[in-house]
Homo-oligomer: A and B are copies of this chain.
Amino acid sequence: MTGQQRARGLSGAVAPDNDLETAPEALTPEQEAATKNQVFLAAERLFAVHGFQKVSVRDITAEANVNLASVNYHFGSKDALLFDIFRRRTAELNRMRARLLHEANDAHGGRPPVRAILEALIGPPVRWLDPNGDRLISVQFLIRARSEGTEAMRDVLRTDVSHLRRFADALRAARPDLPEVEVYWRLHFVLGMVHNNRFAEFDRLNTLSEGLTREDEIEPLIRRMVDFAEAGFSR
Protein backbone atom coordinates (compact mmCIF):
# COMPACT_ATOMS: atom_id res chain seq x y z
CA MET A 1 0.00 0.00 0.00
CA THR A 2 1.52 3.26 -1.01
CA GLY A 3 -0.62 6.35 -1.48
CA GLN A 4 -2.48 7.08 1.69
CA GLN A 5 -4.30 10.26 2.43
CA ARG A 6 -4.43 11.82 5.83
CA ALA A 7 -7.23 10.37 7.92
CA ARG A 8 -9.83 13.02 8.59
CA GLY A 9 -12.51 13.20 11.19
CA LEU A 10 -16.17 13.26 10.27
CA SER A 11 -16.30 16.99 10.93
CA GLY A 12 -13.94 17.43 8.02
CA ALA A 13 -16.70 16.37 5.65
CA VAL A 14 -18.92 19.41 6.21
CA ALA A 15 -19.82 21.51 3.19
CA PRO A 16 -17.31 24.33 2.76
CA ASP A 17 -19.99 27.04 2.45
CA ASN A 18 -21.03 27.14 6.11
CA ASP A 19 -17.65 28.17 7.41
CA LEU A 20 -19.09 30.83 9.67
CA GLU A 21 -21.54 28.51 11.27
CA THR A 22 -18.75 26.18 12.41
CA ALA A 23 -21.37 23.88 13.82
CA PRO A 24 -19.66 21.11 15.77
CA GLU A 25 -21.33 18.62 13.45
CA ALA A 26 -22.62 16.59 16.36
CA LEU A 27 -22.08 12.89 15.92
CA THR A 28 -25.12 10.67 16.01
CA PRO A 29 -25.11 8.17 18.88
CA GLU A 30 -24.41 5.20 16.66
CA GLN A 31 -21.59 7.06 14.98
CA GLU A 32 -19.75 7.96 18.13
CA ALA A 33 -20.26 4.50 19.56
CA ALA A 34 -19.23 2.95 16.27
CA THR A 35 -15.67 4.18 15.94
CA LYS A 36 -14.16 1.09 17.48
CA ASN A 37 -16.33 -1.08 15.27
CA GLN A 38 -15.47 0.86 12.13
CA VAL A 39 -11.80 0.32 12.86
CA PHE A 40 -12.43 -3.37 13.48
CA LEU A 41 -14.27 -3.88 10.21
CA ALA A 42 -11.96 -1.74 8.09
CA ALA A 43 -8.93 -3.54 9.48
CA GLU A 44 -10.45 -6.95 8.86
CA ARG A 45 -11.30 -6.02 5.29
CA LEU A 46 -7.89 -4.55 4.46
CA PHE A 47 -6.00 -7.34 6.16
CA ALA A 48 -8.06 -9.98 4.37
CA VAL A 49 -7.39 -8.46 0.96
CA HIS A 50 -3.83 -7.16 1.21
CA GLY A 51 -2.21 -9.08 4.04
CA PHE A 52 -1.12 -8.05 7.49
CA GLN A 53 2.27 -6.49 6.93
CA LYS A 54 1.24 -4.53 3.88
CA VAL A 55 -1.55 -2.64 5.64
CA SER A 56 -0.50 0.23 7.88
CA VAL A 57 -2.39 1.78 10.75
CA ARG A 58 -2.82 4.83 8.54
CA ASP A 59 -4.43 2.72 5.84
CA ILE A 60 -6.89 1.35 8.38
CA THR A 61 -7.85 4.67 9.93
CA ALA A 62 -8.20 6.26 6.49
CA GLU A 63 -10.49 3.44 5.34
CA ALA A 64 -12.53 3.72 8.55
CA ASN A 65 -12.63 7.53 8.39
CA VAL A 66 -11.35 7.91 11.92
CA ASN A 67 -8.34 9.49 13.54
CA LEU A 68 -4.94 7.84 13.36
CA ALA A 69 -4.71 7.43 17.12
CA SER A 70 -7.96 5.46 17.30
CA VAL A 71 -6.30 2.11 16.80
CA ASN A 72 -3.98 2.51 19.76
CA TYR A 73 -6.66 4.15 21.88
CA HIS A 74 -9.27 1.43 21.39
CA PHE A 75 -7.12 -1.65 20.89
CA GLY A 76 -3.74 -0.84 22.43
CA SER A 77 -1.65 -1.63 19.39
CA LYS A 78 -1.85 -2.81 15.81
CA ASP A 79 -0.93 -6.34 16.82
CA ALA A 80 -3.58 -6.34 19.54
CA LEU A 81 -6.16 -5.24 16.97
CA LEU A 82 -5.10 -8.09 14.72
CA PHE A 83 -5.35 -10.55 17.58
CA ASP A 84 -8.76 -9.20 18.55
CA ILE A 85 -10.15 -9.80 15.08
CA PHE A 86 -8.51 -13.20 14.95
CA ARG A 87 -9.87 -14.27 18.31
CA ARG A 88 -13.43 -13.17 17.61
CA ARG A 89 -13.64 -14.77 14.16
CA THR A 90 -11.97 -17.97 15.31
CA ALA A 91 -14.43 -18.26 18.18
CA GLU A 92 -17.36 -17.76 15.82
CA LEU A 93 -16.11 -20.40 13.43
CA ASN A 94 -15.33 -22.89 16.19
CA ARG A 95 -18.76 -22.35 17.72
CA MET A 96 -20.45 -23.01 14.40
CA ARG A 97 -18.44 -26.16 13.80
CA ALA A 98 -19.01 -27.42 17.32
CA ARG A 99 -22.75 -26.94 16.98
CA LEU A 100 -22.90 -28.94 13.77
CA LEU A 101 -20.79 -31.68 15.29
CA HIS A 102 -23.08 -31.73 18.30
CA GLU A 103 -26.12 -31.99 16.06
CA ALA A 104 -24.47 -34.83 14.16
CA ASN A 105 -23.87 -36.58 17.45
CA ASP A 106 -27.52 -36.23 18.41
CA ALA A 107 -28.74 -37.39 15.03
CA HIS A 108 -26.60 -40.52 15.04
CA GLY A 109 -26.75 -41.69 18.65
CA GLY A 110 -23.36 -40.26 19.64
CA ARG A 111 -21.50 -41.97 16.82
CA PRO A 112 -21.87 -40.00 13.60
CA PRO A 113 -20.50 -41.39 10.35
CA VAL A 114 -17.44 -39.87 8.72
CA ARG A 115 -19.49 -37.86 6.26
CA ALA A 116 -21.47 -36.05 8.95
CA ILE A 117 -18.26 -35.17 10.79
CA LEU A 118 -16.68 -33.83 7.61
CA GLU A 119 -19.75 -31.75 6.90
CA ALA A 120 -19.48 -30.13 10.32
CA LEU A 121 -15.79 -29.45 9.70
CA ILE A 122 -15.96 -28.24 6.11
CA GLY A 123 -19.42 -26.70 5.91
CA PRO A 124 -19.07 -23.58 8.09
CA PRO A 125 -15.85 -22.08 6.65
CA VAL A 126 -16.93 -22.81 3.10
CA ARG A 127 -20.40 -21.42 3.67
CA TRP A 128 -18.67 -18.21 4.75
CA LEU A 129 -17.30 -17.96 1.21
CA ASP A 130 -20.76 -17.05 -0.06
CA PRO A 131 -20.36 -13.69 -1.85
CA ASN A 132 -23.95 -12.86 -0.93
CA GLY A 133 -23.16 -13.12 2.75
CA ASP A 134 -21.09 -10.83 4.93
CA ARG A 135 -18.59 -13.47 6.00
CA LEU A 136 -16.41 -13.64 2.92
CA ILE A 137 -13.96 -11.17 4.39
CA SER A 138 -13.81 -12.97 7.73
CA VAL A 139 -12.88 -16.33 6.29
CA GLN A 140 -10.24 -14.80 4.05
CA PHE A 141 -8.85 -13.07 7.11
CA LEU A 142 -8.69 -16.35 9.02
CA ILE A 143 -6.99 -18.16 6.17
CA ARG A 144 -4.41 -15.40 5.95
CA ALA A 145 -3.87 -15.46 9.70
CA ARG A 146 -2.66 -19.02 9.35
CA SER A 147 0.48 -18.06 7.45
CA GLU A 148 0.97 -14.35 8.13
CA GLY A 149 -0.25 -13.99 11.69
CA THR A 150 1.63 -12.45 14.57
CA GLU A 151 3.58 -14.51 17.06
CA ALA A 152 0.65 -14.50 19.48
CA MET A 153 -1.71 -15.79 16.81
CA ARG A 154 0.68 -18.52 15.78
CA ASP A 155 0.99 -19.60 19.39
CA VAL A 156 -2.76 -20.01 19.60
CA LEU A 157 -2.91 -21.91 16.33
CA ARG A 158 -0.11 -24.22 17.38
CA THR A 159 -1.09 -24.94 20.96
CA ASP A 160 -4.86 -24.59 21.12
CA VAL A 161 -6.11 -27.71 19.38
CA SER A 162 -8.91 -28.48 21.81
CA HIS A 163 -11.48 -27.75 19.16
CA LEU A 164 -9.84 -29.96 16.55
CA ARG A 165 -9.48 -32.76 19.06
CA ARG A 166 -13.22 -33.21 19.19
CA PHE A 167 -13.24 -33.79 15.45
CA ALA A 168 -10.28 -36.15 15.65
CA ASP A 169 -12.00 -38.13 18.41
CA ALA A 170 -15.21 -38.31 16.41
CA LEU A 171 -13.35 -39.54 13.35
CA ARG A 172 -11.51 -42.16 15.38
CA ALA A 173 -14.82 -43.35 16.78
CA ALA A 174 -16.29 -43.52 13.30
CA ARG A 175 -13.33 -45.51 12.00
CA PRO A 176 -12.07 -47.62 14.91
CA ASP A 177 -10.52 -50.03 12.41
CA LEU A 178 -8.12 -47.34 11.20
CA PRO A 179 -4.72 -46.79 12.87
CA GLU A 180 -4.93 -43.64 14.94
CA VAL A 181 -2.11 -41.93 13.09
CA GLU A 182 -3.90 -42.35 9.77
CA VAL A 183 -6.89 -40.42 11.12
CA TYR A 184 -4.68 -37.51 12.12
CA TRP A 185 -2.98 -37.38 8.74
CA ARG A 186 -6.27 -37.47 6.86
CA LEU A 187 -7.65 -34.75 9.08
CA HIS A 188 -4.57 -32.73 8.16
CA PHE A 189 -5.28 -33.31 4.48
CA VAL A 190 -8.87 -32.17 4.82
CA LEU A 191 -7.83 -29.01 6.61
CA GLY A 192 -5.40 -28.35 3.79
CA MET A 193 -8.28 -28.49 1.33
CA VAL A 194 -10.24 -25.99 3.40
CA HIS A 195 -7.38 -23.57 3.93
CA ASN A 196 -6.62 -23.47 0.23
CA ASN A 197 -9.81 -21.54 -0.52
CA ARG A 198 -8.16 -18.17 -0.98
CA PHE A 199 -9.03 -15.52 -3.56
CA ALA A 200 -5.73 -16.04 -5.33
CA GLU A 201 -6.20 -19.80 -5.54
CA PHE A 202 -9.67 -19.39 -6.98
CA ASP A 203 -8.27 -16.99 -9.56
CA ARG A 204 -5.68 -19.54 -10.54
CA LEU A 205 -8.25 -22.32 -10.72
CA ASN A 206 -10.49 -20.18 -12.88
CA THR A 207 -7.63 -19.45 -15.24
CA LEU A 208 -6.80 -23.14 -15.44
CA SER A 209 -10.36 -24.28 -16.00
CA GLU A 210 -11.09 -21.32 -18.27
CA GLY A 211 -14.04 -20.20 -16.18
CA LEU A 212 -15.59 -23.61 -15.73
CA THR A 213 -15.27 -23.64 -11.96
CA ARG A 214 -17.68 -21.48 -10.00
CA GLU A 215 -16.60 -20.90 -6.45
CA ASP A 216 -19.69 -18.79 -5.75
CA GLU A 217 -21.94 -21.85 -5.91
CA ILE A 218 -21.42 -22.74 -2.30
CA GLU A 219 -23.46 -25.84 -1.62
CA PRO A 220 -22.16 -27.68 -4.71
CA LEU A 221 -18.65 -26.77 -3.59
CA ILE A 222 -19.28 -28.14 -0.11
CA ARG A 223 -20.70 -31.31 -1.62
CA ARG A 224 -17.63 -31.72 -3.82
CA MET A 225 -15.24 -31.19 -0.92
CA VAL A 226 -17.11 -33.57 1.37
CA ASP A 227 -17.33 -36.14 -1.42
CA PHE A 228 -13.60 -35.94 -2.02
CA ALA A 229 -12.71 -36.05 1.67
CA GLU A 230 -15.14 -38.84 2.46
CA ALA A 231 -13.68 -40.90 -0.36
CA GLY A 232 -10.22 -40.23 1.05
CA PHE A 233 -11.39 -41.70 4.35
CA SER A 234 -13.08 -44.67 2.71
CA ARG A 235 -10.19 -47.10 2.80
Contacts and interface: CB of A to CB of B under 8 A. Distances in A.
Interface of A: 51-54, 144, 146-148, 154, 157-159, 161, 164-165, 168, 180-182, 184-189, 191-198, 200-201, 203-205, 207-209, 212-213, 221, 224-225, 227-229, 231-235
Contacts of A227: 232, 235
A166 to B, nearest CB: 11
Contact of A196 (B52, B165, B192): B192
Contact of A208 (B53, B147, B164, B189): B164
B204 A157 contact: yes
B158 A207 contact: yes
8 closest residue pairs by CB, A with B: A192-B196, A53-B53, A228-B232, A184-B209, A192-B193, A161-B208, A181-B212, A231-B231
A47 to B, nearest CB: 13
Given A161-B208, A185-B213, A228-B232, 14 more contacts: A51-B147, A158-B200, A164-B208, A165-B208, A184-B212, A186-B224, A188-B205, A191-B196, A192-B195, A193-B193, A229-B232, A231-B233, A231-B234, A234-B234
Nearest to A188: B205
20 contacts: A51-B147, A53-B53, A144-B147, A146-B201, A147-B200, A158-B203, A161-B207, A184-B213, A185-B205, A185-B221, A185-B228, A188-B205, A188-B213, A192-B192, A192-B193, A192-B197, A193-B193, A229-B232, A231-B235, A234-B234
